[in-house]
Amino acid sequence: MFRQTIGSLTALLLCSGFIFAQSVLTHLTGAVTAVKPDVVTIKMQDGKSEMVMLEKTTKYMKGEKLVKSTDLKIGAPVTINAKMDLKTKKYVAEDVMLGAKDDKTKAAPAKK
């Protein structure tokens, strides 16, 4: 009985750890370089390009307001919360925040 209980608890712990690992979001910040109906490509702050899959369930926000996927334009600064799809090894967007700027993406002031 004791071994069965320990075995069950161990299996439960392993499964919950796997599920938790699946639900961790990655925050991707950069500028949009390409937009297609099912994928957006952004140039990250470190200079790398990252493709992020878009789904019907992806939410698009500008500030506190919901917007449409068609509001996503090339050159726009974005922050995308995405999960890694382990099968395809690609990011899948949970939500896209348009106009989101980080301190590193702000333009430098013009010199006089």
Domain holding 74: CATH number? 2.40.50.140
Contact 60, 66 (CB under 8 A): yes
Residue 58 pLDDT exceeds 60: yes
Angle at 41 between CA 60 and CA 102, to 5 degrees: 65
**What is the average pLDDT across 25-42?**
94
Whether 5 is in a domain gets the answer no
Residue 71 pLDDT exceeds 80: yes
Q: How confident is the model at residue 104 (pLDDT cuts 50, 70, 90)?
A: very low
Nearest to 40 by CA among 61, 10, 49: 49
Whether 108 is in a domain gets the answer no
Contact 33, 41 (CB under 8 A): yes
Whether 54 is in a domain gets the answer yes
Whether 37 is in a domain gets the answer yes
**What is the average pLDDT across 76-93?**
93
Whether 36 is in a domain gets the answer yes
Q: What is the residue range of 29's domain? A: 25-102
Whether 3 is in a domain gets the answer no
CA distance 28 to 91: 10
CA distance 6 to 8: 5
User: How many domains does the structure of the chain reveal?
Assistant: 1
